[in-house]
Structure 1
C-alpha cells in the first residue's frame, strides 16, 4: 500500500491534486485544508495517503498529516460516511475541532460540513466519542479514561501512526509510544521509538 508521497505539486483542483514523483503523476483526492497546505504548483509537497478500493473504483486519498489520515479512517468506518463525506468534514473542521466535537458530543459542529445532516452528525459523534480519546489529544481536550496522550514530538506521532498501520488500535499504539518516549527520552528517534513501543504494545 502507498503510505506517503513526496514530490512536486503538478496540478490541483477543488478536491484533488496531482503529485509528480520521479516523473509519475499520482492523482490524490484531498480535503481543502490539505490542498492549502501543499502550496503552489511546482512546490515540493508531502502527503500521507490512504488507498480506497471499492467494486468499481480505486482512489488515493491524501492528507497533510498522519493525524488527518487517522481521523479519515475513523470517519469512514462509520456507517453512511464515505470518502467524500469524510473529506468534507475534514475540510470544514481541523482535527482538533473534530476531536473536541466527538469528545463533547457536539453534533452541531460536525453538521457544519457539507452533506452532513443532524442525524449523520449525531451518529458520528456517538460512535467516535470513545475512540477520540485514543488519538493524540487536541488542545483543550481531556483524553478518555485509560487513554494516554501522545507526546507532541513529530517522531512520536509518526511512531503512533506506524503502530496503527501494523494493526494496533489507536489507544494501544498511543499508550505504547508514550511509554517508549518516557524510557528513551525526548530526543529519541523514530526507529528507536517504534522498536521499543512494539515491545510494550505486544507485552
Structure 2
C-alpha cells in the first residue's frame, strides 16, 4: 500500500500528475484542486495517495492533503460514486465546504460538481451524514451553528491522526479547530495533535 509520495513534480495533465521518486515516475490521478496546489514542474512535492486495485488495473490517486484523501475514501464508499466522480466533487468543493454541505444536508452544493445529478447528490448527503456527523456550536444571537473545518498548515494531518485513533471525522475536526484557536495555525503538528486530544477527551 502506497500512502504517500515525496519527490519532484515531473509533469501534469488535465486529471493527473507524474511524481518522480528516485528516478521512478508515479502516475497519480488528482483533482484540479490538488493539481493547482502542487506548484510548478521540477519542484519538490509531497502528495498523499490512495491505491485503487481492480481485476484489470492498479491506479494511484493523489491528494494535496490527508483530509482530501479521507473524503475521497468516504465518497467512493457511496454507491454510484467512482473515482472519477469523487475527484470531480473534490475539484468543485474544498474538504471544509464538502463537510459543511453534508452536515447541513445541502445536496445542491454537492450537485455543483460535474457528473453529479440531484439524485446522486441526495444519496451522497444521506449516506455520509451519519459518518461525518454534525457539530453544533453556539453562534452569535444565541442560536446553534456548525463548526468550520480547521484550515492551518497541519490541520488536515492532525485530523487524520485523531481519526486513526478512533475519533469520528466531526469530533476530530472540532477538536483540532479548538486546539488551533488556542495555539494558532502555525503550531507544530505534535503540539496540535496533543492539544486536540485533550480537547476531544473533555
Q: TM-score, normalised by structure 2?
A: 0.76
Give, in whole Å, the separation in 1 of the partners of 2:178 and 2:5. Answer: 29
2:138 aligned residue: none
CA distance in 2, matches of 1:78, 1:109: 17
C-alpha change, 1:39 and 1:152, in structure 2 (3 Å) is closer
Q: Does 1:16 align with 2:16?
A: yes
SS at match of 1:154: coil
1:62-102 alpha-carbon deviations (Å, 9 max, x no partner):
11122211221221121111111100111122223322322
Q: Which residue of 2 aligns with 1:170?
A: 169
Q: Between Structure 1 and Structure 2, how many residues are aligned?
A: 192
1:158 aligns with 2:180: no
Worse overlay, 148-157 or 29-38: 148-157
The unaligned stretches of length 5 or more in structure 2 are 136-143
What pairs up with 1:68-107 in 2 under 5 angstroms? 68-107=68-107
Distance in 2, Cα, partners of 1:160 & 1:77 = 20
Q: Which residue of 1 aligns with 2:114?
A: 114
Q: Does the CA contact (< 8 Å) of 1:99 and 1:132 recur in 2?
A: no
- Structure 1: gaps of 5 or more residues: 135-140
Q: In 1, distance between residues paired with 2:106 and 2:195?
A: 37
Distance in 1 (CA, whole Å) between partners of 2:92 and 2:32 is: 8
| Backbone CA RMSD of aligned residues | 3.1
Q: 1:172 to 1:111 in 2, by over 3 A?
A: closer
Map of 2:32 onto structure 1: 32
